[in-house]
A and B are shown apart, each in its own frame.
Chain A
Amino acid sequence: MAAVAAVPEFREALLGPAAQRLEIGLLGARTAAVLRRLLDGLAVDDVDRAVLRSAVEMLENTADAVEFLAAGGELKRERTSFGFGAMALTVELAAPAVATADLPQFVRDMANDLNELINHIDVDAAGRLLPVFSLLADVATRQAGTVGEGGGSLV
């Protein structure tokens, strides 16, 4: 969304920050669903691979963003569709206790594990990653707020 005035964050739910969080919530939900099916012994198909590739891209972008912060502003990444706010949420949920210096590698390792799953079924890796993406699905969707201005309950 783009506007000349400071509209309440939740008013333009389809366009504003809430929409970004909803998108991250959906990515988390789709990734978690693929991981659950892997744990149930099902094979991945092209649709699953597309989902996993999006999640890998989001994690790599997050690692790049943290690296470029830590490097004092030396930009090492292209602009992507994943907003900085979405990456901040990913850092908070996926690596809440990891030191800043270790963050990029920690997130990149997660991306690598996920990337491996595109070609090789690894139940252990799927089991490790599932709680992270399941949490991302729930928290990001919750943070998109409720429908209606102000994000409060309308009931």
Chain B
Amino acid sequence: MDALADELRRAIEQRRQALAARIADLRGTLPGEGLALARVLDLFAFFPKALSTVVDQEWDRNPAAQSRIQLLRPLLRHVTDVATFVDEWLGHTGAPTVPLYLLDAVQRACAAMGLGERRAVIATGPADSFTTVADDIEDVLFRKLGPLCPRLPPELSSSFALMRAPRFEGTSALWHPILLGHELAHIAIRVHDALTRFNLQASFDFARAAAIPPGSGTSGPAGALRLYEIGESWAEELICDAFAVRTFGAGAVAALGEYLEVIAATDHLSDSHPPGRLRTRLIVRWLGTLADARVNAVVAPWRALSDEPIRYAEEWAQFLTDTLLARQSDLREAANIWPGRDYDTNARSPIVLEVAEALRSGVPPDATVVQGGTRHGVDDQDVVVAEWVGRVEGFETPVQALAKKALDNLEFLRQWSAAGGSLPVPPPSVGKAASERATLSAEEVSLRVFAHGDERLVVTPLLPDFTTGASLDLRLGNTFIVFVRSRTPSFDPLEADQDPRQVQRSMQLAWGDSFVLHPAELVLAATLEYLVLPSDLSAQVMSRSSYGRLGLLSATAVQVHPHFHGCLTLELVNLGTVPLLLTPGERIAQLVLSPVAPTPAPPPSKYHCPIGPEFSKVRTDEEAEILRRLR
């Protein structure tokens, strides 16, 4: 027995040390201090220290081998679980799979829902689940260490919203109703004690429950307690669904309905989640009737499914289904007890369709749209529902990327305003005819920006003082492609099996963070502005002289053709001798516009509608194969 206790202690110590090293590694690879992930890793870094204290003290206090074994076994399991969590939830410091605007959106939503100031961390993981740490992560980590756990240093204590989305597409705007609606509601249910207020026991037939074995369990008091626990889990999920519908309307029904099909949950019975068929029926009822046929089309598949009867051979599942169906109004009401911005799909449908038209034309929608002569602000939810419209109607433009850029723009503009920047930009007061000169003047650029139809030069987001002299100012975006020099001896752009990702990686900075560009270093960045050049304008990207004086060259591929759609890639090089700090959002380059004879739109290029810097695609050139054969 003593030998086993000794070995358990050694096993814990080995894993504790490995965990501490892993956390330090992850912390060291973060691109910036502005990310909440840094704070979470700091919190987790305290765990190995606390565990060491607890194990040492438990060991000293309890000389009996059996006590030591009974204490160390679950602690060994706990440290293993924490290590697994760190790898699966916090080990995502590489490619920027989660757009940073989404982190800001989570934080804003938490504040609006009365959840306090929470820092958001969104991991990506398996394809079959969105998951949220609904309980306080400090509690999850340290409560199991018991009364011997040392006190957490106050500077490490912080509130988080820790979430995980499917790796491949889980963070796209289509699924925001799940992340920002359903998942955040799990936290709100605890903070606002919504399950107590929902009061499942008021309609729970305990006598009947005690006679039904829940799945493989026993009947009687213990069985009834288990069935009640399952009932509360199901109720919680349904309240979360109701909140998603409350805040995203048709977007929530489309997202939840489809995702439940993706994970084959329609008739799946589990202890933690109600069957998809019950969920679909309720979200469709909570949404109600939609007046606009195009918007209604995004929820039509789920309306049909929701009419089918719900019958289960498993008595416990039918019992819970019937109990909760009878409480559907209360479930909806329970999702109303905390604050939050309701989304009225019918009222917003005209704006959604305007946004959808922008997406169809290959433009991220602006922050405002004009409807019936009145200017309306565009909400994130409008973009989400519009993306569903575009998906159902089969738009040929890259709707997902455009919606992402639109949401990123909206977030930047919110932060710009919050930091004291002025908005919106007023249109020019006097209009003049188009110039015959070789270069457009500042006034002519303004007129083109505020023009309608084919004449319009799209610049989004548009910020004040966007012209200087005879040029349009371009701001730095927050995504960069940097070189990783130690991994590949050389790179051949024409080689079909050499992907630029072998020598480059993409990274994203939070607004407010800075990128350090070292002397002689090249980095790919992109303009904050998404541009669409009309058929009669071409442009050249120029370095801004103020930065040129510091040694910064902004672009090597300077020509922009008519019909260009997208954010311009900037090849930034520091030709100076000292490192330069580049802050996303600053004016870094200029676009000089020239009239040309109207030209027809070319077929989409290999860099179609980029919303950030893109990896080189030289190897996909048609002539690349010929050149390879010549070699």
Listed in ascending order, the chain A residues whose CB lies under 8 Å from chain B are: 1-7, 9, 12-19, 22-23, 25-26, 28-30, 32-33, 36-37, 40, 47, 50-51, 65-66, 68-70, 72-73, 75, 79, 83-85, 87-89, 91-92, 100, 103, 134, 137-138, 141, 144, 147
Contacts and interface: CB of A to CB of B under 8 A. Distances in A.
**Sorted from nearest, which 9 A-B pairs have the closest CB atoms?**
A2-B186, A84-B229, A29-B70, A6-B270, A33-B67, A5-B129, A2-B134, A88-B225, A88-B222
A42 to B, nearest CB: 9
Contacts of B224: 69
Task: Tell me what chain B mostly uses at the interface: helix, strand, loop, or mixed.
Answer: helix
B314 interface: no
Contact of B135 (A15, A17, A30): A15
A22 B228 contact: no
Nearest to B217: A88
Given A50-B147, A141-B74, A6 B221 contact: no
B272 interface: yes
B146 A14 contact: no
B206 interface: yes
A100 B211 CA distance: 13
A37 B133 CA distance: 37
B196 interface: yes
Interface stretch (B75-83, B486-494, B556-564, B572-580): B75-83
A2 B131 contact: yes
Contacts of A19: 81, 140, 144
Given A73-B204, A84-B229, A141 B73 contact: yes
B202 interface: yes
Contacts of A103: 221
A65 B130 contact: no
Nearest to A84: B229
Nearest to B190: A2
Given A2-B236, A7-B131, A14-B140, A29 B225 contact: no
B272 A6 contact: yes
Contacts of B236: 2
Given A2-B183, A30-B71, 5 more contacts: A3-B272, A40-B64, A66-B221, A66-B225, A138-B70
A36 B193 contact: no
A12 B129 CA distance: 11
A69 B205 CA distance: 9
Contacts of B204: 73
Contacts of A147: 77, 80-81, 84
B550 interface: no
A26 B71 contact: yes
A106 to B, nearest CB: 11
B380 interface: no
Given A2-B186, A47-B147, A22 B130 contact: no
Given A15-B140, A73-B206, A147-B80, A4 B74 contact: no
B271 A9 contact: yes
B499 to A, nearest CB: 31
Given A33-B62, A73-B206, A68 B273 contact: no
Interface in B161-207: 178, 182-183, 186-187, 193, 195-196, 199, 201-202, 204-207
A69 B229 contact: no
Given A5-B128, A33-B64, A72-B206, A26 B265 contact: no
A4 B226 contact: no
A53 to B, nearest CB: 9
Contacts of B178: 4
Task: Tell me what chain A mostly uses at the interface: helix, strand, loop, or mixed.
Answer: helix
Contact of A85 (B70, B199, B226): B226
Nearest to A26: B74
A134 B81 contact: no
Contacts of A15: 85, 131, 133, 135, 140
A3 B129 CA distance: 7
A83 B263 CA distance: 27
A85 B231 CA distance: 12
Counting chain B CB atoms within 10 Å of each CB, which of A1, A5, A73, A92 scores highest? A5
Contacts of A3: 129-132, 183, 272-273
A144 B210 CA distance: 24
B259 interface: yes
Counting chain B CB atoms within 10 Å of each CB, which of A14, A15, A89 scores highest? A14
29 contacts: A1-B133, A1-B272, A2-B131, A2-B240, A3-B129, A3-B272, A5-B259, A6-B273, A7-B272, A9-B271, A12-B131, A14-B140, A22-B78, A23-B143, A28-B70, A29-B70, A37-B61, A37-B67, A47-B147, A69-B224, A73-B202, A73-B206, A88-B225, A100-B220, A100-B221, A141-B74, A141-B77, A144-B77, A147-B80
B318 interface: no
Contacts of A91: 221-222, 225
A135 B99 CA distance: 49
A2 B74 contact: no
B109 to A, nearest CB: 15
Contacts of A68: 201
A72 B207 contact: yes
Counting chain B CB atoms within 10 Å of each CB, which of A1, A2, A73 scores highest? A2
B263 A32 contact: no
A49 to B, nearest CB: 9
B420 to A, nearest CB: 38
B496 interface: no
A2 B132 contact: yes
Contacts of B133: 1-2, 15
A6 B265 contact: yes
A144 B75 CA distance: 12
A62 B459 CA distance: 64
A3 B259 CA distance: 12
Given A50-B147, A144-B74, A5 B229 contact: no
B223 interface: yes
B268 A26 contact: no
A70 to B, nearest CB: 8
A155 to B, nearest CB: 14
Given A22-B74, A88-B225, A14 B81 contact: yes
A50 B146 CA distance: 9
B232 interface: yes
B226 A88 contact: yes
A16 B268 CA distance: 19
Contacts of A7: 126, 128-129, 131, 272
Nearest to B64: A36
Contacts of A47: 61, 147-148
B75 A26 contact: yes
B543 to A, nearest CB: 48
B218 interface: yes
